[in-house]
Structure formats: structure tokens, C-alpha cells
Amino acid sequence: MTSPNRENVTDILCIGAQKASTSWLHNVLNAHPRTYAFPNSAPITSTNKEAHFWDWNHKRGIEWYRALMTPPESERLSMDFTPEYALMSDAQIRECKEINPTARVIYVLRDPLARAISALRMHTLWQNRDAKPEEVEIVLDEQFFELLKKARIAENTSYFANYERWARHYDDILLLNYEDIRANPTDVIDRLFDHCGLSLGEMPPDARDEFHKRMNRRVWASVRYPVRSDVAHFLYGLLWPKRVAAERFFKVSFREYQEILGEVKAA
């Protein structure tokens, strides 16, 4: 039975970015006994992490979403980590604010080139499920440009525009840098817990043990097959303005592109 008196349908919203460790963050946060992940309802939802209400399931109605997200204990914080939410329109975010007025919103930024290549690897392997990673290659051709559109590469790395739409309605968005997650995950989780009103101190010993296990566990990673030099440099040029804009506006530093360009193979 759902509780319509809860302040929010969803208490913790992570809006992306896609391929920026949102699955790891969700898995670690879900170790806390005060958080709640909805039951896996695939293919309606994506595992117990992504409800996809605002893109796949809006037609099911808010009461469907409320029933999905309501925890068995009212004090627990429900979570929806759907990276596609970063691309929501202003009207959709306004509706989200109406049903989640005090939700804690999280947005993880990642170097645009590294994020794009990780996403393209994921989409390419989906299209070639029976192939081995060494047999898969992205070529700079017409199919590549169609893939850019399908994966919404430009939109997913328009961090400033996405943030600006959300910030019109939520004035306390927690911004995280993927590279900080790699370098100092403990500091990032401390910031995340503080943003969500959680603490390690309130966790019982068994939950804390599970938390520490999850801190050292990798949840999801795209298969790292080689990327051609012409593809990597094309994407670097395409996304360079987005990287510069994000670094200047958010006062962050992206360096993953240097790794990518150092690894690419000649076309």
C-alpha cells in the first residue's frame, strides 16, 4: 500500500551523466539501511536503479511511479538513478519538482571524450552481441554519424545546458567529477552522504561491512576495445567546446582525454 503523504515520490535523484559511475554510486548508497531501491521490474525499468519514469514510463502515470518508489518504511529514502533524466525538458523538470519538491539531486560530470567513447563502446557492443571485443571497431563512416545521433552524444555531454535547466527548479544540485571518484572515492561518498542527510555512523556493523565491500567493487564497465585515431580525434574536436565550457563554468578539470588520445591506434 502506497503512502501519498510522503513529501517526495523520489527522495534521491541522480540525473547522470551516462557512463560516469552512476551504477557504482547507486550500489554504494544502497548499502545504507536508510536508502531504498525499488524492486527490479525489467524491462519496464532498468534493474533496481533506473525507473525511467520521465522517458519510458510517463504514460503509466504518477501513481504508478509513486507505487514503485514508495519504501516499506516511510523513513527510508527512495532512489532513482536514471542518467537519461539529464536530458529532460524544462516542463518535465517542473513536473518533477511538483512531485519531488525536496529531492536531493546529483549530477556526475565526466570528460566529454572519455564519456562519449565509453557510450559508443556500449552501444556498438549492444549491436554486435555475438562478436568478440577484438572483432568490434568503430569506423568514421555514415553508420558512425547515425550512432552519434542514436547515442545522443552531443546532448549527453551538454553539461552546462542540462544543469541550467535543472538548476531553474533545484537550487542545491550536488555536482561530482568522475575523475574524483577514481582518485578519491571516500571523499566523494562523504560528500554524497552529507548531501543526502546520511552518515556512516548510523549504519550497523553488518551494513558498514557491506558498504566497505561495495566501495571496492566495480559495478559496470564498457568493454575496452581499441579506438581508431581518426574516430578519437574527430570526437575530441567535436566535444572540445563542451569540455572547455564545463571546466570554466563548474570550475572542474578533465584529464581523461589525455589517456584516450594516448591509447588510440592509427587508422
Q: Identify whether 1 is part of a domain.
A: no
Q: Identify whether 3 is part of a domain.
A: no
What CATH code is carried by the domain that includes residue 171? 3.40.50.300
Q: Is the pLDDT of residue 218 over 90?
A: no
Cell numbers for 191, please give them: 560528500
Q: Identify whether 2 is part of a domain.
A: no
10 Å Cβ neighbour count for 109?
Answer: 26
Domain that holds residue 31: 12-263
Distance (Å, whole) CA 61 – CA 67: 10
State the average pLDDT for the chain: 92
Q: Identify whether 193 is part of a domain.
A: yes
User: C-alpha angle with apex 41: 40 to 44, nearest 5 degrees?
Assistant: 140
121 contacts 31 by C-beta, under 8 angstroms: no
Residue 101: which H helix or E strand, with range? none
Please write the tens of the pLDDT for every residue from 95-120: 999 999 999 999 999 999 999 999 99
119 contacts 155 by C-beta, under 8 angstroms: no
- Look up the pTM and report it: 0.93
Q: Identify whether 77 is part of a domain.
A: yes
Q: Running DSSP on this structure, what letter comes out for residue 131?
A: S
C-alpha neighbours within 13 Å on the C-beta side of residue 81: 27
pLDDT band at 2; cut points 50, 70, 90:
very low
The pLDDT of 114-127, averaged and rounded, is 86
Q: Is the pLDDT of residue 225 over 80?
A: no
Number of structural domains found in the chain: 1
99 contacts 9 by C-beta, under 8 angstroms: yes
Res 217: pLDDT: 87
State phi, psi for 6 to the nearest 5 degrees. -60, 140
State how far the alpha carbon of 252 is from the alpha carbons of 2, 55, 95, 146, 255, in Å: 41, 29, 30, 31, 10
The pLDDT of 176-193, averaged and rounded, is 97
**pLDDT, greater one: 263 or 246:** 246
pLDDT band at 122; cut points 50, 70, 90:
confident
Distance (Å, whole) CA 119 – CA 117: 5
Interaxial angle between packed helices 159-167 and 90-99, expressed in degrees from 0 to 180 and rounded to the nearest 10: 40
Q: Identify whether 7 is part of a domain.
A: no
Res 235: pLDDT: 97
CA 240 from centre of chain:
21
Res 154: pLDDT: 96
Q: Identify whether 94 is part of a domain.
A: yes
Give the range among 36-40, 55-59, 129-133, 247-251 with minimum mean pLDDT. 129-133
| Greatest distance between any 2 Cα atoms in the chain | 59
Q: What Rg value do the Cα atoms of the chain yield, rounded? A: 19
Res 53: pLDDT: 98
pLDDT more than 70, % of the chain: 92
The pLDDT of 70-93, averaged and rounded, is 97
Q: Identify whether 101 is part of a domain.
A: yes
**pLDDT, greater one: 132 or 42:** 42
User: C-alpha angle with apex 125: 261 to 224, nearest 5 degrees?
Assistant: 35
Amino acid at 48: N
Please write the tens of the pLDDT for every residue from 140-181: 999 999 999 999 999 999 999 999 999 999 999 999 999 999
- DSSP-based three-state secondary structure for 228: strand
